[in-house]
Structure 1
Amino acid sequence: MLELTCSQAWTPLLERRIGDWRLRWADGFTARANSALAIGDPGKPLPDTLKQVCDFAHDHAIPPVVQVIQNTSTEEAIEDCGWVQYVEHRPAHEVRVMTGPLSRGTSAGAVILDEPTPGWWEMTAGGAEPAEAPRHVLGTGKVGFGVAELDGVTAGAVRGAIVGEWLHVARLAARPEFRRRGLARGLMNALGAWGAAQGATGMLLQVAVANSGALKLYENLGCTEHHRYRYWAPGPGACEDRPS
C-alpha cells in the first residue's frame, strides 16, 4: 500500500499500533504525524478501535483524527460510527497522493544539502530554530534538504526523503517575492537528480486537493493521481470525554 510508504517518510515522535492501524503523535505538528492511519485490519471491532483512537489522542492532547483512504469500505464504516470529515483541517482535509517520474532538467541554482540550514527551517517549519517535533518529523530518515538562494536569502526550499524505490517530496515552498522565477521547478529538478543518485526510480507526493498551484506544477512534471485520502474526526457523541 503506497500510503504506508508515505508514512515511512513522515516519522512521528511516537507511534503505537492497533493491529495494522497506526496511532501517531508529534506534538501537533501536521495532521499526518498526529492522526491514526486507518489501513488494514485493526484486529478488533471498529467502535472499540475508534475508542482507542480517542483515548490515545486525549492522552496526548491532540484532536482525535483518522486518516483514511477515500471511497473505501473503511471510510464508509467510520462514517457509520458517527465520525465526520475533519473540515477544521481545511484546506488540507482532502489530499491527492500522486506519483511520477523523477524530475530532470536545470536546477536554477538549487542545491540539495545533507543538513538543513536555518533558512530551510524557516521556509519549511516557520522558524529558524524549530521545536523538537518538526525537527524529528522533517529530519528523520534518508533526507535531502533542498534550498535555492537568491539575493542573500533562502528564496525556496523542499524536502525529499528516500523510502525504498521512492523519492517522497514535501514542503516545497518559495517566498512570494521570488515566485514566477522557476524556483519550484529548479528545486524539483535538483531533488530529482539527488533522488536518482540515492537509488529512487520515481517520486511520490501528498498534495491538498485545494492547492491548485502545486497540483498544476506536479502535473506538468508528469505526476498523476494514485489515490486520495481524507481526515475524519468524531461527530457529536462519537467520542467520550472529547475535549471542548
Structure 2
Amino acid sequence: MPFAASRGSRVSLRYRTSDGLTDVVGHLEALTPRVIVRPKSGDHIEIDPADVVSVRELSHRPVRNSEIRALEHAAALAWPGTEQHWQDGWLLRAGSGHTSRANSAVPLLFSSSTEALSEIVSWYTARGLQPWLALPERLLPIKAPGVKPTRVLVRDLSPAPPASGVALAATPDGQWLRVYERDVPPGILTAVVDGTLAFATVGAAVGRGAVTNAPDGIRWLGVSCVRVAESARRQGLALEVFAALSAWGAEQGATRTYVQVLDDNAPARSLYGSLGFELHHRQRYVRADSLVLHA
C-alpha cells in the first residue's frame, strides 16, 4: 500500500500476521525491502510491505491535548482576523472572508463543545460569512472529514545572530505585497492580538513572523506567508527568510516556533523537514452549519 509517512516518522501501523491483525506504534526506520518499525521499548519489527494494512503518522513524540490547545491559542492570536468574539470556549474570527484562518472558529477552552454550533452559525451568517470551524485533532468528538487538512509542525528556537541582507519591517510594504501576490488585505496581514509582528523581505522572497504567548507560558514564533517568486526559486531565499524571522523571534523571547502546512504542499513540507520541524498535531476545516443540519 502507498505510505502516508516517511522514514523517521512516528507511526501507528496495522499489519497482518499468521494470527490475524496486529498493531505497532514506533518510529519508521525503513520502507524497503522490508518495513522496519522500532517501538519505544523492545526490538525492531520487520514487516513484509504486502502485509501492511494501514499507516497513520503520529506526532513525533506523545502530545497531550492541553499542549495542542495551548499552541492553537497562540496561533489564533497570531492570525485573528479583524474581528474576534468568544462564544462558549470558542474563539470566533472574522476577516471579510480573506483566508480560512482569519474566518473560522477554533475551540480554545476546555469548556468548548458542539453545543455552541448554532450560535457560531448565527454569528458568521450575520456577517455574510460561511461558518467554518478550524478543528485541531482530538479536542472535540467531531468525525466529519473536513477540508484543507493541515499539519502543525514545531521545533525549538535558539538565539541566533541577525541574518544579513534580509529587511524586517513591522508592516508589509509594496515590495512585500507584490512578491506575496495573494489577495489578502494589509489589515488581515497586520492583525495580531497581544503579540508582535515582523515582515521579512530578501530579493523576491517574503515571509511573516508573529510572536504570541500560549496559556501554558510558552512564547511561540509563528512563521507564515513564506513565498518566493517563481523566477527566484531554488536559490535558498526561503531559508534566508526563515533564518531572519527565527533570529527576530528569539530576540522577542520566543523559545519555540511553528508552521502550518497543508498536507498536499510537498515543497513546504520538505523545506520545514530539512529545518528540523516535526509533526505536533493536525487540523482541518469543517462547516458548522453542516454539523447542525446533520444533528
TM-score by length of 1: 0.79
Answering whether residue 23 of structure 2 is matched by residue 23 of structure 1, we say no
2:179 aligned with 1:123, yes or no? yes
- The residue identity in structure 1 corresponding to 2:133 is V
**How far apart are residue 234 of structure 1 and its match?**
4.6
Question: What is the CA–CA distance in structure 1 between the aligned matches of 2:139 and 2:195, rounded to whole Å?
Answer: 32
8 A Cα contact 2:172 2:186, kept in partner: no
**Matched residue of 1:219: which SS?**
helix
Cα 1:19/1:139, change in 2 over 3 Å: closer
Find the residue that maps to 1:29 and give its secondary structure. coil
Secondary structure of the 1:172 match is strand
1:147 shift after superposition: 0.2
Is the alpha carbon distance of 1:222 and 1:106 closer, same or farther for their aligned partners in structure 2, counting shifts above 3 Å? farther
Offset, 1:228: 0.7
Paired letter, 1:11? P
Contact 1:147 1:157 in 2 (8 A): yes
Larger Rg: 2
The CA deviation at 1:163 is 1.2
| SS of residue paired to 1:33 | helix
Residue of structure 2 equivalent to 1:177: 231
Find the aligned partners of 2:246 and 2:200 in 1 and give their Cα distance. Answer: 11
Alpha-carbon distance between aligned partners in 2 of 1:60 and 1:100, rounded to the nearest angstrom: 37
Task: Choose which of 2, 5, 10 in structure 1 pairs with 2:79.
Answer: 10
Whether contact under 8 Å (1:38, 1:68) holds in the other structure is yes
SS of match in other structure, 1:194: helix
1:108 touches 1:183 (CA, 8 Å); kept in 2? no
The verdict on how the C-alpha distance between 1:40 and 1:199 changes in structure 2, with shifts beyond 3 A counting, is closer
| Structure having the larger proportion of residues in strand | 2
Q: CA deviation at 1:239?
A: 4.2
* Correspondence 1:163 to 2:230: no
Deviation at 1:204, TM superposition (A): 1.4
Q: 1:135 to 1:202 in 2, by over 3 A?
A: closer
* Distance 1:148-1:139 versus aligned 2 partners, 3 A rule: farther
Higher RCO by CA contacts (8 Å cutoff, separation 6 or greater): 1
Q: CA deviation at 1:187?
A: 0.8
CA RMSD of aligned residues (A): 2.7
Which residue matches 1:99? 154
Query: What secondary structure is seen at the aligned counterpart in 1 of 2:239?
Result: helix
Q: What is the CA–CA distance in structure 1 between the aligned matches of 2:186 and 2:237, rounded to whole Å?
A: 29
Distance apart, 1:136 and its partner CA: 4.2
Match of 1:57 in 2: 124
Say if 2:150 and 2:263, in contact at 8 Å, map to a contact too.
Answer: yes
- Greater share of residues in helix: 1
Give the counterpart letter for 1:186 in structure 2: E
* Distance of aligned partners of 1:236 and 1:34 in 2 relative to their CA distance in 1, 3 Å threshold: closer
Output the CA distance in 2 between the equivalents of 1:237 and 1:8: 26
Does the aligned pair in 2 maintain the 1:54–1:239 contact within 8 Å?
A: no
Q: TM-score normalised to the size of structure 2? A: 0.66
Report what 2:166 is aligned to: 110
The CA deviation at 1:192 is: 1.3
Structure 1 alignment gaps of length 5 or more: 88-92, 150-154
Cα distance in 2 between the residues matched to 1:237 and 1:147: 42
Q: 1:67 Cα deviation (Å)? A: 1.0
Structure 1 pair 73/15, CA: closer, same or farther in 2 (3 Å)?
Answer: closer
Flag the 1:140–1:236 CA change in 2: closer, same or farther, 3 A: closer
Cα separation, partners in 2 of 1:140 and 1:163, compared to 1, 3 Å: closer
* Distance change >3 Å, CA 235–CA 19, structure 1 → 2: closer
Kindly state the Cα deviation for residue 215 of structure 1 after the two structures are TM-superposed. Answer: 1.0
On the 8 A contact 1:24/1:36 being kept in 2, the answer is yes
State the alpha-carbon separation in 2 of the partners of residues 206 and 194 from structure 1: 19
Q: Distance in 1 between matches of 2:156 and 2:97?
A: 32
**Deviation sequence 1:31-74 (CA, Å, 0-9, x none):** 1111110233456x72x41111111121111111111112x261
Q: Distance in 1 between matches of 2:172 and 2:274?
A: 28
Structure 2 portions without partners, runs of 5+: 1-69, 214-218
Deviation readout 1:154-192 (Å, 9 max, x if unpaired): x00000011132111110000011000000001111111
Measured in 1, the distance between the counterparts of 2:244 and 2:185 equals 28
Distance 1:212 1:41 in 2: 33
